Structure 1
Amino acid sequence: MKCLRIYATPDGESHFDELELPTTKRTVHPDAVPFDVTGSYPASRVRITHIPAGMREVAWHTVPEPVLTVRLDGSVEYETSDGEVRHVQAGSFVLVEDTHGRGHLSRHSPEAQTVIWISLPNGLERSL
């Protein structure tokens, strides 16, 4: 399973990366098709954010801690300090880890949006 990642290098510049999250097949019911499921990741907090309609661009910013964002509706365009731009649709998730440096820029779609923020103190390092 792929996960888009925003991270900062030691010099404070932000970049994109794609992580491949390992999965295993799990059957949750004898009559169900098996699901692809990742391992468990320790989380410290979950927040739900409502971004109002008309919120367009959020200036350059960092995150206070690594967060996995899960976009339920709307879309966003992220730009990293190296100039790369990625468009993220509803139903996508992004690991945002640029906790220092210049950060990233967010350009939101015109409609209201709901985003779940999952704080991951260790990023996507799996727990045993």
Structure 2
Amino acid sequence: MKGLRIYASPDGESHFDEIELPTTKRAVHSEAAPFDVTGSYTASHVRITHIPAGMREVAWHRVPEPVLTVRLDGSVEYETSDGEVRYVPAGSFVLVEDTHGKGHLSRHSPEAQTVIWISLPNGLELPPE
């Protein structure tokens, strides 16, 4: 399963990376065909945020801890300090790990948005099975 990652290098510059979460085919219900499922990751807390309509741009900022953001609706365009820009539509997840350095910039679509923030103390290191 592929996703986007924002991280800071040791010099404090933020960058994008593509991540691949390992999955296995699992039957989660006796009546359903098996489908791809990741292992379980340790999360310390979950927040659901409502970004109001018209929010537009959020200036350069960092996250206080690694978070997996899941965008339920709306879209965002992220810019990292190295100048790269990525568009993230609804239904996507992004691992945001730039806890130090210059951070990233967020440009939100004009409509209100709902985003789930899952704090991951260990990031997305391979979970124990």
TM range (shorter): over 0.9
Which stretches in structure 2 are left out of the alignment for 5+ residues? Answer: none
Matches of residues 114-125 of structure 1 in structure 2 within 5 Å? 114-125=114-125
Structure 1 runs (4+) deviating above 6 angstroms are: none
Q: Which residue of 2 aligns with 1:100?
A: 100
Q: What's the RMSD between the two structures over aligned residues? A: 0.7
TM superposition score normalised by structure 1: 0.98
Query: Counterpart amino acid of 1:82?
Result: D
TM superposition score normalised by structure 2: 0.97
- Deviation for aligned residue 1:30: 2.8
Query: What percent of counterpart residues are identical?
Result: 88
- Deviation for aligned residue 1:32: 1.3
- Deviation for aligned residue 1:2: 0.4
Aligned residues: 128
Query: Counterpart amino acid of 1:108?
Result: H
Query: Counterpart amino acid of 2:78?
Result: Y
Q: Deviations over 1:60-92 (max 9, x none)?
A: 000000000000000000000000000000000
Instruction: Name the CA distance, whole Å, in 2 between partners of 1:104 and 1:33.
Output: 40
Q: Which residue of 2 aligns with 1:21?
A: 21
Q: Which residue of 2 aligns with 1:73?
A: 73
